[in-house]
Chains A and B, each alone.
Chain A
Amino acid sequence: MSAEFVQLSLVPLLIGTLAAMACAVPGNFLVLRRQALMGDAISHVVLPGIVAAFLITGRVSTWPMMLGAAGAAVVAVVIIELIRRIGRVEPGAAMGVTFTAMFAGGVLLLEQSDTSAVHLDVEHALYGNLESLVWLAADGWASLGDRAALADLPPELLRMGMAAALVLALTALFWRPLKIATFDEGFARSQGIPVRLLGFGLVVVAAIAAVAAFDAVGSIIVIAMFICPPAAARLMTNSLERQLGWSMVFAALAAILGYVLAGYGPGWIGSPHAVSASGMIATISGLILALACLFGPARSRLSAPSEP
């Protein structure tokens, strides 16, 4: 049992948890800035970025694709800003125009190019394949100390870990100006904080998290992790620092519970087939949010508790 767990479940669990946390951290600011749907937009445009990178390089290799995806996210953000500012279109509509068009372009490119030989398709892009990230060289917990077995770890794990560390480090470094600019943009500008650059940086960090996580869990889970844990966390506390903590706890909880339920849940009701882990993670994060909406101590504007 433990050998099988380490082989089949440990790595997906870790990747899922890291992905969820990496997305939840910038998600806190996106939710507070009323930009929650920027996460939606970013995760949709990852697909055209990956396809474009594949078409340019001609093969499925990780780094070009991640660069392509990150590039597409940046392009999307710039286009959204241009449409919003120059065209004077409200942000939601500007996002809607941009990400649907780019996603449509991505699907078209994908259909037109010969990707049948490689593992690249729309379904995979939408809901990932967390279950496939197995660690076959492992034969128990002891493998964690086995150099040869460790070398066989899916590379997604290291990548996700690095992305999560980067997201956390950047958030910590720019915590203070981010907090000020999110609360009071005019004051932030008067303090010499480059508000627009900071906002752009936030979206880029979100894009990094999305791109790294997308590879493992697909774009829809990315949206769920951007929004649900931070939104639930907002309903738990009135302190930004604690909100961040709650959001990471909720993200991890959703990832672990979701993965376990998807893998083992059907067995409990007598079905031999597992269901989609990333879909289940999104579902659990939604249930957590629902509970927070019903019982969170800071759920409504009126019931704000005073804190020491």
Chain B
Amino acid sequence: MAARQAPTLAASDGITRSAAPDAETAPGPLAIRGMTIAYGEKPAVFSVDMSITPGSMTAIIGPNGAGKSTLLKAALGIVPALSGTVTVFGRPIGEMGRRIAYVPQRASVDWDFPARVQDVVAMGLYRELGLLGWMRPRDRERVRDCLERVHMAAFAGRQIGQLSGGQQQRVFLARALAQDADLYLLDEPFAGVDAATEAAIIGVLTALRDAGRTIVCVHHDLSTVSAYFDHVFMINVSRIAEGPVATTFTAANLQATYGGRLLAAQIRDLGLGDVPRPDAPCPAPLRS
């Protein structure tokens, strides 16, 4: 890349650089540039930049249909992007798969599949075992250990269809733990789970973060953002805001992300103060 001069404009054009990440200094765990994903001609994600802070725990929030899960899947190459680049620890995603653990939405699979809990967790060892590698005793131990960490060891031999929603979610998390990754991408891990599961999951994730791993969660519950996460990424097809929870998770940004869907009262309940009135009312209805 460096050999060829890439077209740029001189910075002296009076156009200030936006807060672009200093990718040169330390390659972030996940950096997305100019990502657009469209089904047909309707963009699900439009021109999104994202730069995840190393060792952070980031919530991706936004209304339904705002492209949260789609962005995560496109970052992993699971859905094709119309444009945009993704780097993981400074390298293209294809080379770095080993360092990423992905937890899909629980509802995205058929839990009637004939498998036991430990079979699912063992799937996390796929990259190590390959096509034909046998499960060695220490692999089995690792599976058991991962189940232990999500308090599911007692269910190792249980058919997965018999688990409750929360238990299924913990099995998924255990599978991700088995991958022993540096970057964890989770799609709605708290959706429809019981309180005990939620506590167990947040405990595991916090421990991972404290061990220097990076966590990114698609998240839907605004009331727990401040308690669970240190960074937040707000999206509504386009990126609205990104940064530390303390400075970014503000009433103004929430209003910008959720629009009229989020009542002022809800925002007050979050303890973020009053909603700023849009200082300039709409002068005329939008042209269609």
User: Do A and B touch (CB < 8 Å)?
Assistant: yes
**Which A residues form the contact surface with B (CB < 8 A)?**
32, 173-174, 176-177, 179-180, 182-184, 186-187, 189-193, 234, 237-240, 242-243, 301, 304, 306-308
> Which of B59-67, B121-129, B198-206 interfaces with chain A?
B121-129
Chain B residues within 8 Å of A182, by CB: 113
Chain A residues within 8 Å of B115, by CB: 179, 183, 238-240
Closest to A34 in B: B110
B126 touches A193 (CB 8 A): yes
Q: How far is the CA of A189 from the CA of B115 in the complex (A)?
A: 19
Closest to B78 in A: A189
Q: Name the 6 nearest CB pairs between A and B, nearest first.
A: A190-B102, A186-B104, A238-B159, A189-B78, A240-B114, A184-B109
Q: Least Cβ distance of B218 to chain A in Å?
A: 13
Closest to A172 in B: B132
- Can you list 15 contacts pairing A with B, beta carbon distance less than 8 Å? A176-B132, A177-B126, A183-B115, A184-B104, A184-B108, A184-B123, A189-B76, A190-B101, A191-B123, A191-B127, A240-B114, A240-B115, A243-B114, A306-B159, A307-B159
- Chain B 111-154 per-residue mask, 1 if CB under 8 angstroms from chain A, else 0: 01111100110010011011110000000000000000000000
A187 touches B73 (CB 8 A): no
B73 touches A186 (CB 8 A): yes
Q: How far is the CA of A75 from the CA of B156 in the complex (A)?
A: 43
- Where chain B touches its partner, the secondary structure class is mixed
A190 touches B76 (CB 8 A): yes
Q: Least Cβ distance of A184 to chain B in Å?
A: 5
A190-B76, A304-B161 given. 13 additional CB < 8 A pairs?
A: A173-B131, A176-B132, A183-B115, A183-B120, A186-B73, A187-B102, A191-B123, A191-B127, A239-B115, A243-B114, A301-B112, A306-B158, A306-B159
Chain A residues within 8 Å of B120, by CB: 183
A190 touches B114 (CB 8 A): no
Do A234 and B114 contact each other (CB < 8 Å), given the known contacts A184-B108, A187-B104? yes
B126 touches A191 (CB 8 A): yes
Q: How far is the CA of A198 from the CA of B51 in the complex (A)?
A: 33
A32 touches B159 (CB 8 A): no
A237 touches B114 (CB 8 A): yes
Q: How far is the CA of A177 from the CA of B176 in the complex (A)?
A: 16
Q: How far is the CA of A242 from the CA of B100 in the complex (A)?
A: 32
B123 touches A238 (CB 8 A): no
A189 touches B77 (CB 8 A): yes
Cβ contact of A191, chosen from B97, B113, B157, B159, cutoff 8 A: B97
Q: How far is the CA of A187 from the CA of B123 in the complex (A)?
A: 9
A190 touches B78 (CB 8 A): yes
Do A176 and B114 contact each other (CB < 8 Å), given the known contacts A186-B104, A191-B97, A307-B159? no
Residue picked from A179, A191, A306, most chain B C-beta under 10 Å: A191
- Asked if B83 is at the interface of the complex by the 8 Å CB criterion, the answer is no
- Chain B 176-215 per-residue mask, 1 if CB under 8 angstroms from chain A, else 0: 0000000000000000000000000000000000000000
A306 touches B108 (CB 8 A): no
- Asked if B266 is at the interface of the complex by the 8 Å CB criterion, the answer is no
B123 touches A308 (CB 8 A): no
Q: Least Cβ distance of A199 to chain B in Å?
A: 15
Q: How far is the CA of A190 from the CA of B162 in the complex (A)?
A: 26
B109 touches A192 (CB 8 A): no
Do A239 and B102 contact each other (CB < 8 Å), given the known contacts A180-B123, A183-B109? no
- Chain B 17-38 per-residue mask, 1 if CB under 8 angstroms from chain A, else 0: 0000000000000000000000
Q: Least Cβ distance of A193 to chain B in Å?
A: 7
Q: Least Cβ distance of B109 to chain A in Å?
A: 5
Q: How far is the CA of A184 from the CA of B103 in the complex (A)?
A: 10
Chain A residues within 8 Å of B157, by CB: 306-308
Closest to B94 in A: A192
Q: How far is the CA of A237 from the CA of B161 in the complex (A)?
A: 12
Q: How far is the CA of A80 from the CA of B279 in the complex (A)?
A: 55
Q: How far is the CA of A258 from the CA of B158 in the complex (A)?
A: 37
